[in-house]
Amino acid sequence: MKRQIINIWSLIDPFYLKCTRLQCLEQIIGKYNIFRIRLTRYKGREVVLSDGTVIQKNDLLVKIHLHNVRVLKEMDSMDGKLKILFLYKAAYYSMPALALYVLQHEQRDHIKGIIGITMIEKGYDRLGFESFTFSSSMYTLFKRISLYPIHLLANSKSSSKRKKTPVPRYLFMSKDSLSNKYGSLHRNIA
């Protein structure tokens, strides 16, 4: 059943990509990458990152999405711990291309950083992300409902052990942190 859902999702995914205006970073850079991206204006509450970067309403950010259907296909035959390791490594090796994209973007002087939304509970901090909860309980509920199918597909065998669905949250990284951590690594992707 899980494979059938993922196969159907694969057919629908190109339409989703067009509707959301996302771009596959892999197609821009030309190397393996699990991120899809687009420029966005931030609409949440003000947040202050650990490096002092202040993200305010209407700041320009690069929004990142995992290419979920692809990642789910690639993780299909793996057990829980291997899935976590695979996802971490795939994200880690995708970060230099993201840094290159931001640092070479025509609006790089206006981009404050990157933003994503996740239900993943561990590992993002090791990548350099900082997490913040949503200020709106309605938005939290909306995101919890919309991300729940992905959560179920990714955790189909181990989800019965979980008592509670993780809470979705923002992930932020400032442009300076991205550049400092991954900017020099982009030579490996060229």
76-129 pLDDT per residue, tens: 878 778 888 898 999 999 999 999 999 999 999 999 999 999 887 788 999 999
Residue 3: left if φ>0, alpha if ψ -120 to 50, beta else—which one? Answer: alpha
- Contact between 41 and 114 under an 8 Å Cβ cutoff? The reply is no
Q: What residues contact residue 18 under an 8 Å CB cut-off, 6+ apart?
A: none
For the chain, give the mean pLDDT.
84
- Contact between 114 and 64 under an 8 Å Cβ cutoff? The reply is yes
pLDDT-based confidence at residue 161 (cuts at 50, 70, 90): low
Class of residue 97 by CB neighbours under 10 A (exposed 0-12, middle 13-18, buried 19+) = buried
Phi then psi for residue 118, to 5 deg, are -145, 160
- Would you state the pLDDT for residue 13? 74
Strands (E), the chain: 23-24, 35-41, 47-48, 54-55, 60-66, 111-118, 130-132, 169-174
pTM: 0.81
Taking CB atoms within 8 Å and a gap of at least 24, the contacts of 72-80 are 72/6, 72/9, 72/150, 72/153, 72/154, 73/6, 73/10, 75/154, 76/2, 76/3, 76/6, 79/157, 80/155, 80/157, 80/158
Residue type, 149: P
Task: Name the DSSP letter for residue 156.
Answer: T
**Does the pLDDT at position 36 exceed 90?**
yes
- Would you state the pLDDT for residue 189? 47
| Lowest model confidence (mean pLDDT) among 51-60, 117-126, 140-149 | 140-149
What's the average model confidence in pLDDT over 179-185? 87
pLDDT tens figures, 5-32: 766 766 777 777 788 889 999 988 888 8
- Would you state the pLDDT for residue 29? 86
- Where is pLDDT greater, at 189 or 130? 130
